[in-house]
Structure 1
């Protein structure tokens, strides 16, 4: 809206100046003046308005072209020079010769066409001030008034002087026109000059005086309401009194007392307007304060009812807030914690070295530390730090989750793993050994039917051993206590060995291996990564039509090596693709094709890949085949972290 006012001002100034020049050229009085009692606009003033309007229009863009900027500056300086020349001409010739006479001869008008009222020096002064203001319009500052603002304000005061002289002059004496009225500008001249001055201010609303007026602050709020009333109040009042006087409703003796009374009432009105504006702002401030207090109370209630201990720590490491759960877990009263160093609760500090087992905890988003209660006992904690919104960057809110129960559950899981390892695997190994001996004895006695039964026992024992091994491997990987035996391997050569070793000979011809440019050796646990590749290759054979090709590709994407396995099977639904790597999840086709599986193969593959610092995913559409991807870093990560998905980059 502010810039629209600037554009309108530029157009209006240029258009009025052009019409006045046409009026002088054609000697049309209505174009030169608004009436017989109103001074006509001089040709020099009209030309100055045209130059000023054009300069304002060229300076409006925030980043004008070089030619546009230079032309606008040149027109602005021409406006100032024209104003200065008119001012000097008025002093030397009284305005009846010199510059305006030259314009009259150019337009073919005679001297009698000029008005008898002496020219106003205020018009020339306004043009002389507005020219430099237009040239310096870009030199403002968001916080300070600029030279351009000062020049525009002076021009506005000069134009207001002319307007008040024209409107208020008749209030002084009924006989002879006083100096102000006699030397003032025409009504249309002063209005257009004021509009041009306002447009110059609005050309850069983000700088200087307009920045203060449009700013959403107390000063801006009050100024937007008082400045228009202060500037336009006296002229409007004077115009009203003049109109009343012209229709005979007001004697001359009552003009000045009435004017003084109304001015005093206007001052009181300004005070009341300022008071009302301040009351509105104070009401809004109280409402905002109340809303802020309610928000703080909700935030405090949320923290106090949180199930985990929470503390707010400032930049110096001192506790500024502690919730009720922190009191319960650590045993301190809240008042005793405030302003105390956080090392009272976490001796090693919130940013200190991690304790044992940090790797899996960091992968879950936290960090394990050892806390200390008031009675001196320790408590295992998982620390999560977040910046507190609205505070400085160093203020943090810390969630100190008591992981004692998690530690107990992990201990139970370790015991469970040991139970499976010892109490289930050992009997199965014995059964498997005895079944092989029984099968050999039956074979020697040529009891084929009984030998087939023994082979069924061996097959089911191997199946149970496989399931137990999957459960054990999944449990170890979930606990995060698996130490990968990394060694640098040529991943392309590794894939060739897996295809040769783990794919049945009659199915090898279906696999097509595509290797990218040679990659650097990749640090990996070859045994576990072979399990991932074998699982993907087996699934590709199992769920694709017989005889269709399976493509295995190796490529590099940034700092990751990406392996993909593509088959021509029936594809996956979006629901299956989203849950395929979940624990125990099996698709309908998987349950019908292999009723003995547990749904752990792809889940374990995901855990193995993520333990390497990589990522595994699937892309598929129904009836368009399936492509499995997994990535591993080309360099071993310093700490196990969840890697950025490569779906978009590798796809």
Structure 2
């Protein structure tokens, strides 16, 4: 079954008068929480490599330096102690902060996919798209397919994909959500014309944090996602699926791609 619909547009309110529903505020808070955990994970991972290297080179220097030179020995000891202090900070502050949210609990249940799409698209239209005068087109190849997974988590992931693409779109633009299911998985791809200026334009309403929007416009290392999509990645992987952020090229628009097994299970 193929359906196609677009959101209507209306007068854009001033950002100061932009009303946010309780549901939207909750989804924004979840997005920020997952982004915080993602950043902490990156900090923990990226700092350990250089710290290990410094620690190793300190031992090399110690063997090269004069054992009878107290200043040299004190300097090497200071380097090693400094590294140990940094590692302890990572373990007691960064890793401990993430401990309770490192594993994502899922509430499994079987549910039809199409109502989830309609509900989420309408939430984003009402919550931001109409105010930004951005249309959302739904191109669905779904019929009566059902998925066994955490519906609320998947709604949050799809909501974030659509909300970000609206944030990154100019007035009059169209964001397209194409969705289908094959024998094993549900696929949802959001295609949009990314405009970095729209992400930071103070004259239009925004839902996502300014810090998240700014970082999303910066160059990314290979295979790393923008921090704001941490929720999408965590939810997808917890279901045994995947999330991809594909930048625009000369021949293709930017895309966000979510793949979730129809019979999702927690990866071992």
TM-score, normalization by structure 2: 0.50
Q: Which has the higher contact order (CA 8 A, sep 6+)?
A: 2
Computing the radius of gyration from Cα coordinates, the structure with the larger value is: 1
**Greater strand fraction, Structure 1 or Structure 2:** 2
More helix by share: 1
Task: State the TM-score, normalizing by the size of structure 1.
Answer: 0.22
